[in-house]
Amino acid sequence: MTTRDWDRLKAETARVYAANEVEAGDAYFHMPNAHFYPSLFAWDSGFQAVAMCHLDPVKAARELATLFAQVAPDGHMPHEVLLPPAASRASLARNFTRWLVQWEYDSRRASHLVDPPTYVCAAEQVYELTGDRRWLESVWENLRRCLDYLADERDLFGDGLVTILHPWEAGTDLSPQFFEALGVDPRRDLSVIDATLYAIRLYRFCNRRGWDPTLLFDENRFAIEDLTVNCITVRALLCASRLASEVGDELTASNFRSRARSMADAIDRICWDEGAGCYFPRWNAAQPRLSRVKTAASLLPLFTGLCDAGRATRLVKEHLLDPDEFAGEYVVPFNPEDELAGFRPWVEKKLWAAHCIWINFNWMLAIGLAENGFEEEARRVTESTAELVGREGFWEYYDSRTGEGRRMRDFTWPGLVLDMIARHCPEALPTEG
């Protein structure tokens, strides 16, 4: 990894982010992709703010300020807030499609869904870099409220973990860990129908019930203690506890630390499978059980900041470094090769369902590896990611078999490679002065 690599990736990040930038009055943010995703998305803004810390920290702070202003009256951070079509750079066809589904949003044009709270982790990184106390105080109340919502209103199983009510709330769409709950069989051709229609059917179901979490949990159409959401929430609570101390709110700081510890303990108690040596999400309100399908989310307790050392070692040595699972030519696949046997061809066309590498997961896993004592492995993931993004460019995701970029080009998430390099390959950074 060289300074030339850094300079090239930084220049490409700046180009892609400029192409997806929105500035409208006081609002400032990035669309993940201006043509296909012409909206403000919550966990995307968290990732984008992290990348922007290496381009323009002031703009990173502005993006998060815009996002935290969207917190709903009930305290939830909307998964998505729509841009007016006039301000969108999407095609007429895409804007028409968005118009057709406007029933999905509230009167503020905001989604009823939540997102994993990456934006809280990003807020701590922005504050550490800028030291802007006034900015922190301006976002603090809504930052606190959205975490309280997740920890309180979404603790539907009553065990301290966050429950999601739609797969989109995990950010991992049609993850194989959701197949059983959705009635999708990836080894049957006709199951493509259910896989295609599940999102709209479930969204309508939730809409008709007013998005009441308790009612939806009792209906038990889809209720999952997802690992992506819960692991990111644990880390977000720890980040928020430190930010609480910065604003002089020691009671909240202590509360958030305690909640993070309790959630991490619940993940260990509920989601760990000793025989498999990894974690699985739990689902089904009526008869709770684990969805025993491995994905990269099964490794995400590494990212919490509170992973048990022995279990961290098993995650890495038995899974992440296994060439039959996650240690292929291109890393880190979201779905290990051994889980994909027998999947029908249609599965490849579904987001998160088959052979895919997502740079946001590489970013989280590299951090988790380093924090759990696997610095060399974190460096290898970083170098592989930088090589992949440098060769293919900025794509929504990458094929884990060939490394080829897939779906939307000029997507923002690969900008996280800058933060990965800064953390794990710092010798590539330009020398000051």
- Asked if residue 69 has pLDDT above 60, the reply is yes
**Mean pLDDT of all residues belonging to the chain:** 96
User: Domain extents for the chain?
Assistant: 3-346
| CATH code, residues 3-346 | 1.50.10.10
Q: How confident is the model at residue 56 (pLDDT cuts 50, 70, 90)?
A: very high
- Residues in Cβ contact with 68 at an 8 Å cutoff, skipping those fewer than 6 apart: 77, 119, 123, 139, 142, 143, 146
- Residues in Cβ contact with 114 at an 8 Å cutoff, skipping those fewer than 6 apart: 42, 76, 77, 78, 79, 149, 150, 154, 164, 169, 229
Distance CA 231, CA 304 (A): 5
pLDDT digits (tens, 9 = 90+) for 319-360: 999 999 999 999 999 999 999 999 999 999 999 999 999 999
- Asked if residue 92 has pLDDT above 70, the reply is no
Q: Which of 433, 431, 395 minimizes the C-alpha distance to 413?
A: 395
Q: What pLDDT is recorded for position 433?
A: 46
State what percent of residues in the chain have pLDDT above 90.
Answer: 91
- Asked if residue 87 has pLDDT above 60, the reply is no
* Residue-by-residue DSSP string for 67-94: HHTT--TTSPPPSEEEPPGGG--S-HHH
- Asked if residue 213 has pLDDT above 60, the reply is yes
Within a 10 A sphere around the Cβ of 15, how many other Cβ atoms? 12
* Residue-by-residue DSSP string for 375-416: HHHHHHHHHHHHHHHHHH-SEEEE-TTT--EEEEES-SGGGG
Q: Which of 65, 41, 33, 60 minimizes the C-alpha distance to 49?
A: 60
State the pTM of this model.
0.97
Sign of CA pseudo-dihedral 6, 363, 167, 77:
negative
- Asked if residue 397 has pLDDT above 60, the reply is yes
- Asked if residue 155 has pLDDT above 90, the reply is yes
Q: Is 358 helix (H, G, I), strand (E, B) or coil?
A: coil
Return the exposure string of 348-360: e unless at least 16 CB atoms fall within 10 Å of the residue's CB, then b: eebbbbbbbbbbb
pLDDT digits (tens, 9 = 90+) for 108-153: 999 999 999 999 999 999 999 999 999 999 999 999 999 999 999 9
Q: Which of 410, 406, 386 minimizes the C-alpha distance to 30?
A: 410
Phi-psi region of 40 (alpha: psi -120 to 50; beta: other; left: phi over 0): beta
